[in-house]
Chains A and B, each alone.
Chain A
Amino acid sequence: MTTIQVFDPALCCSTGVCGVETDQALVTFSADVDWAKQSGARIERFNLAQEPMIFAENATVKAFLERSGQEALPLILVDGEISLAGRYPNREELARWAGVKEVEEAKSGACCSGSSCC
């Protein structure tokens, strides 16, 4: 099964609500990760401020940090290969990588929980 690894910048917490200004991208992504996991995706998140050893021990991530610096995070590896950097994936991308189906029902309710409006 595909493994998606997300290497976050140094955060207080995964939604960033502990920071002085809550980042919408983090809030949305945290919800998307939760959704994808519920749909069966295997996703791991690592926070640079909490688990820096995991960054240092992964040759791909370490090289990326040396080349581009922490400003270029987040970095997303899919089965160990760089698939995205500098922004968080949306729900569609997560679904494609993980090979799960985006359920129509998840989009109802709010104006746009997916990527198709607003």
Chain B
Amino acid sequence: MKFLEQAPRFLFFTGKGGVGKTSIACATAIELAEAGRRVLLVSTDPASNVGQVFGVGIGDKITAIDAVPNLFALEIDPQAAAQAYRDRIVGPVRGKLPEAVVRGIEEQLSGACTTEIAAFDEFTALLTNTAITSGYDHIIFDTAPTGHTIRLLQLPVAWSGFLEAGKGDASCLGPLAGLEKQRAQYSAAVDALADGQRTRLILVARPQNSALREAARTHEELAAIGLNQQFLVVNGLLPKEEAALDALAAALYAREQAALSATPDALRSLPCDYVPLKPFNLVGLDALRQLLVATPSHIDAAVGEPVELHAPSLSELVDGIAADGHGLVMLMGKGGVGKTTLAAAVAVELAHRGLPVHLTTSDPAAHLAETLHGSLDNLTVSRIDPHAETERYRQEVLRTKGAKLDAQGRALLEEDLRSPCTEEIAVFQAFSRIIREAGEKFVVMDTAPTGHTLLLLDATGAYHREVARMLDAKGAHYMTPMMQLQDARRTKVLLVTLAETTPVLEAANLQADLRRAGIEPWAWVINNSVAAARPHSPLLQQRAKNELREVEKVATTHARRYAVVPLLSEEPVGVSRLLELAGRETEPA
């Protein structure tokens, strides 16, 4: 593997959710540790599963992985980091200020802003703080999903800019009190990131068009902010031998090879490694040790009988959605599980029945237009573009609240409107605007990856509390977006997952988070099922067998109702294939 050769001190693994970043980061950590280096593996993913991969609890303290000498791990949990930050601020005044005042401070420090900044603080400390990191030869970051990572990486640059502008107290940097103290840390973090001798960025992608395009975008965005030392890893490539063994495998192989030959130009100049698809789940040390070696994987000889899977189709699920005549349908789940495709499939299936549908997405990495590839009666499509929404929000605030300011006052306001929190607010407002339509028609939403979605819901909750406080006093009737999400008659949440251990666990965690917010998921959708596609190739059959256990878990423990969507031999693009995905027969052309 090229990306392992002469590995520098900092290694970042990034890419869409579900591409296998964590597995590859863990396998890399094991490899380097077993070569005698001292390695610290860090996850900044809000839904980290590094601990699960090694079968040990890790959390926010550096923990030795006993099974691998020299290997240590750390999971930066943004919520825990935010709690620690709150404690640091609020702790000293407890008992000194009235209890109600202390509660008010805590409430103010419970927003997305605090969470983001607290996690970021820990992250930059690892890039610069020698007291913590000097004992390690390599620090490996298994980072959060793409959009969030980029934002974290861009922040030091943006904030250094703020600081250089010299307005120490004016800028809207949220809870970053005593900013000057952090200044050296942020600027050192930027230096470390931009130094090719110290930092290598490994873009992980699946051999799929959308994943490769996403990697190309990330490549360009990160190169633009100075991260030039980049490698590409294409993970989960179907071995050529399998293609000879059945039609599905042959089609998948052809599909992957076509995606590879269409690799965006931006990526072609990067050193590239290919990791073959394995028949086993990448959990546990033995599996991880085999991930980066080229030898053919051992396949269970007992495979032979086609796997039988009887499960409801997406179309059957849509029957239940259609029955209500209108409402909000939200698809949630980790990035890379296929929310965009399934949102399009649900929307097309509803529209095909003659029902009015508005399909919309807030996923920064969405390719809705490409997925739909055409149009359909009764169906309108829109996209919440975070950049466009943020700009619109800025202009709106400047136009209204900034109207009476002089030039200098406007400049100050504009500076504050560059704060990292503005985007959350702007996206939230666009989101609220669209879901109001769900009273008359179907609104199908494809949300951004898990962590971001939860931040959004947080904003919704904060807004709800604010409105409730004002309107309860007046005895008025009102309906906040949060109330709409909690009302099962108005909103159906579909949790999307794959039939693999980690994605199922992550979906279950998300379900628990949603329940805490008073939102009960209506159904689960298991996407890209190999078992439902009834393969004959031994490798795919082995994977199909592994899937059955996960489908069973979803059906019996996690979901109130569920559906299984098969892996298609063709990419699910266009109306007729989306209908096929939902489980109905393709209509004659």
Measuring CB to CB, which residues of chain A are less than 8 angstroms from any residue of chain B? 9-15, 17-22, 24, 27-28, 30-32, 34-35, 38, 45, 47-53, 55-56, 62, 65-66, 69-70, 106, 109-113, 118
Q: Does B89 contact A (CB under 8 A)?
A: yes
CB pair B408 A34 closer than 8 Å? yes
CB pair B413 A110 closer than 8 Å? no
Most buried by B among A34, A35, A49: A49
CB pair A65 B175 closer than 8 Å? no
Measuring CB to CB, which residues of chain B are less than 8 angstroms from any residue of chain A? 89-90, 92-93, 96-98, 100-102, 104-105, 107-109, 111, 113, 169-175, 177, 397, 401-410, 412-413, 416-417, 419, 421-422, 425, 428, 459, 462-463, 466
Most buried by B among A31, A47, A113: A31
For B425, the chain A residues whose CB sits under 8 A away are 18-20
Main secondary structure of the interface of B (DSSP, over half): helix
CB pair A112 B408 closer than 8 Å? no
For A12, the chain B residues whose CB sits under 8 A away are 108, 111, 113, 172, 174-175, 421
For A65, the chain B residues whose CB sits under 8 A away are 97-98, 101
CB pair A52 B90 closer than 8 Å? yes
Given A14-B416, A111-B404, are A49 and B169 also a contact pair (CB < 8 Å)? no
For B96, the chain A residues whose CB sits under 8 A away are 56, 62
CB pair A20 B175 closer than 8 Å? no
Nearest 7 interchain pairs by C-beta:
A31-B409, A13-B172, A10-B108, A50-B177, A49-B108, A56-B96, A18-B421
Given contacts A20-B425, A48-B105, 15 further A-B contacts (CB under 8 A): A11-B108, A13-B419, A13-B421, A14-B416, A17-B422, A18-B111, A24-B401, A28-B404, A30-B413, A31-B410, A48-B108, A52-B89, A55-B93, A62-B96, A111-B404
Most buried by B among A45, A50, A52, A70: A52
Given A17-B413, A48-B101, A50-B177, are A109 and B407 also a contact pair (CB < 8 Å)? yes
For B98, the chain A residues whose CB sits under 8 A away are 65-66, 69
Residue of B whose beta carbon sits closest to that of A29: B409
CB pair A31 B107 closer than 8 Å? no
For A112, the chain B residues whose CB sits under 8 A away are 404
Looking at the assembled complex, report how far the CB atom of A102 sits from the nearest CB atom of chain B, in whole angstroms: 12
Total A-B residue pairs with C-beta atoms closer than 8 Å? 143
- What separation, in Å, do the CA atoms of A18 and B147 have in the docked complex? 20
Given A18-B172, A38-B408, A113-B409, are A62 and B419 also a contact pair (CB < 8 Å)? no
**Per a CB cutoff under 8 Å, which of A13, A18, A113 touches B404?**
A113
- What separation, in Å, do the CA atoms of A69 and B397 have in the docked complex? 30
- What separation, in Å, do the CA atoms of A55 and B90 have in the docked complex? 12
- What separation, in Å, do the CA atoms of A35 and B412 have in the docked complex? 10
For A69, the chain B residues whose CB sits under 8 A away are 98, 100-101
Given A12-B174, A35-B409, A69-B101, are A17 and B404 also a contact pair (CB < 8 Å)? no
CB pair B172 A15 closer than 8 Å? yes
**Per a CB cutoff under 8 Å, which of B93, B101, B413 touches A15?**
B413
- What separation, in Å, do the CA atoms of A69 and B105 have in the docked complex? 12
Given A28-B405, A110-B405, are A15 and B412 also a contact pair (CB < 8 Å)? yes
CB pair B405 A70 closer than 8 Å? no
For A55, the chain B residues whose CB sits under 8 A away are 93, 97, 101
- What separation, in Å, do the CA atoms of A106 and B90 have in the docked complex? 40
Looking at the assembled complex, report how far the CB atom of A17 sits from the nearest CB atom of chain B, in whole angstroms: 5
CB pair B404 A10 closer than 8 Å? no
CB pair A27 B401 closer than 8 Å? yes
Residue of A whose beta carbon sits closest to that of B429: A20
For A52, the chain B residues whose CB sits under 8 A away are 89-90, 92-93, 97, 101-102, 105
Given A17-B172, A27-B402, are A53 and B417 also a contact pair (CB < 8 Å)? no
Given A20-B462, A28-B405, are A56 and B93 also a contact pair (CB < 8 Å)? yes
CB pair A49 B419 closer than 8 Å? no
CB pair B422 A18 closer than 8 Å? yes
- What separation, in Å, do the CA atoms of A49 and B93 have in the docked complex? 11
CB pair B407 A51 closer than 8 Å? no
**Per a CB cutoff under 8 Å, which of A30, A47, A70 touches B412?**
A30
For A53, the chain B residues whose CB sits under 8 A away are 92-93
- What separation, in Å, do the CA atoms of A19 and B104 have in the docked complex? 15
For B463, the chain A residues whose CB sits under 8 A away are 20
CB pair A35 B172 closer than 8 Å? no
For B175, the chain A residues whose CB sits under 8 A away are 12, 49-50
Given A45-B169, A53-B92, A55-B97, are A109 and B406 also a contact pair (CB < 8 Å)? yes
For A62, the chain B residues whose CB sits under 8 A away are 96-97
Looking at the assembled complex, report how far the CB atom of A24 sits from the nearest CB atom of chain B, in whole angstroms: 5
For B407, the chain A residues whose CB sits under 8 A away are 109
CB pair B405 A113 closer than 8 Å? yes
